Amino acid sequence: MSKRRVVITGMSVFTPVGIGLETFWANILAGKSGVERSPVLMKAHCPWQVAGEVRDFRPEDWISRKDVRRMDRFAQLGLAASYMALQDSGLVLEKENRERIGVAMGTAYAGWEFAAREYEVYQKNGVEALSSYMGIAIFTGACGGQISLHLGLQGQSTTTATGCDCSSATIAQSADLIIRGDADVMFAGGADAPIHPVIVAALGASRALTDRNDEPAHASRPFDRKRDGFVMSEGAGVLVVEELQHALQRKARIYAELTGWASTCDAYHMCQPDPDGTQAVRCLRIALARSGLRPEQVDYLNAHGTSTPLGDRAETTVVKKAFGEHAYNLPMSSLKAALGHMQGACGSVELAACCLAMRDNIIPPTINYEFPDPECDLDCVPNVARHRRVNVAVSNSLGFGGRNTALVVERYRDGHVSESSGANGKPATHENGFAAD
């Protein structure tokens, strides 16, 4: 039997800079920030008030009002993103064997908002006033379960809750399932909606967050010498990960081929990265080895780049060790400058950006870069998007507890090559002053 291969045939993003691939991508390339002062955090007098919110999301556009009331916002975002990814993929579920299609979703905070709201009800009116849906709304598997239920997908349905790397991990796990022959298609990604004063204040107290309330759009500044913490954000990203022959048989549009993936753990500290980066380096090397690529063949690295002093410095060290001399020739940008940290959604959204960079041969910028840091001295594509041929891209994800996941995507070469067009066949147009490489 020939080796099964894994491709990406559908993508969707719900982010602070826009919903849908083309709006998201145009705003990212234009250097727009989705970070603002949050009315919820301001009302609570939270010391950390900047956040990235999906402000134009109306769950009723995707989900019945009855079901909206039964879900936390993170599940609403994830389910809506799955519907959009389904549309983008061109899959006709009525023609598919739904037992061969599964779901793998990641989340860091799950149904926190629903739980906090119901706790207020409990304090005011007692246990009898609690929603009968609270138990199924707040647990970590709620989003993946709702996707399986609403799309009628009867393959394996799993949830990964490893934090910041979890949606990258779900994509890697989905690829493993497809390679083993246990699935033909997986809906993989992540969703989180943690913009609540308690969660934000807890992370602020741990000194993980920026307190630049007076300049929200410039608060997240990865690799910049004046970075002082990350911005809490919400959102969702879902990718349709598919076995190659299955995709070819239905004449699917292929964004990219997923050729390498790996996960490791520092086993060092719950919050701080290992300054030597040994396991994060090993993760990148395993992913590249699995893809059969040499470090110098990578054209773009999407960095985790959270804007924390320790994290960005450690990631720079990791990239130098993993890529050697090529690290200094490798464009490496962080979308968290524009999006903030979307927690369980960031990895899937960032991999989608890698695929779009490959589609359009444009590398997105790291905005808010003003003050060079000698300890972060690699090419972070400062402030302006850059034209460059991208055949190979790597997405790097690092998380609490020392979790590391790396994903490698390549331009699909055997026909049905990704074109520079929008999800609906419309040409991708950009009106930005991109820098030529």
* Confidence (pLDDT) at 3: 87
N- to C-terminal Cα distance for the chain? 43
DSSP strand pairing (101-106 vs 157-160): parallel
Q: Which residue has the higher pLDDT, 432 or 261?
A: 261
DSSP strand pairing (435-436 vs 403-410): unpaired
* Confidence (pLDDT) at 424: 32
Residue 413's pLDDT band, with cuts at 50, 70 and 90, is confident
341 is catalytic: yes
- Please give the DSSP secondary-structure letter assigned to residue 209: B
Per-residue pLDDT tens for 251-301?
Answer: 999 999 999 999 999 998 888 888 889 999 999 999 999 999 999 999 999
Kindly calculate the radius of gyration of the chain based on its CA atoms and give it in whole angstroms. Answer: 20
Q: List the catalytic residue out of 164, 283, 354, 355.
A: 164
Residue 2's pLDDT band, with cuts at 50, 70 and 90, is low
3-class secondary-structure state, position 244: helix
Please say whether the dihedral angle defined by the alpha carbons of residues 284, 286, 287 and 289, taken in this order, is positive or negative: positive
Please say whether the dihedral angle defined by the alpha carbons of residues 167, 169, 174 and 175, taken in this order, is positive or negative: positive
Residue with tokens 């061969």: 100
Please give the single-letter amino acid code of residue 366: T
Q: Check if the beta carbon of residue 260 is closer than 8 Å to that of residue 288.
A: yes
Q: List the catalytic residue out of 218, 304, 354, 355.
A: 304
Residue 419's pLDDT band, with cuts at 50, 70 and 90, is very low
Q: List the catalytic residue out of 341, 354, 355, 380.
A: 341
Q: How far apart are CA 248 and CA 15, in angstroms?
A: 30
* Confidence (pLDDT) at 430: 33
Q: How many residues does the chain have?
A: 437
What residues contact residue 326 under an 8 Å CB cut-off, 6+ apart? 295, 296, 298
Per-residue pLDDT tens for 301-341?
Answer: 999 999 999 999 999 999 999 999 999 999 999 999 999 99
* Confidence (pLDDT) at 271: 83
Q: How far apart are CA 62 and CA 80, in angstroms?
A: 6
* Confidence (pLDDT) at 414: 76
304 is catalytic: yes
- CATH 3.30.200.210 correct for 6-414: no
416 is catalytic: no
pTM: 0.93
Residue 429's pLDDT band, with cuts at 50, 70 and 90, is very low
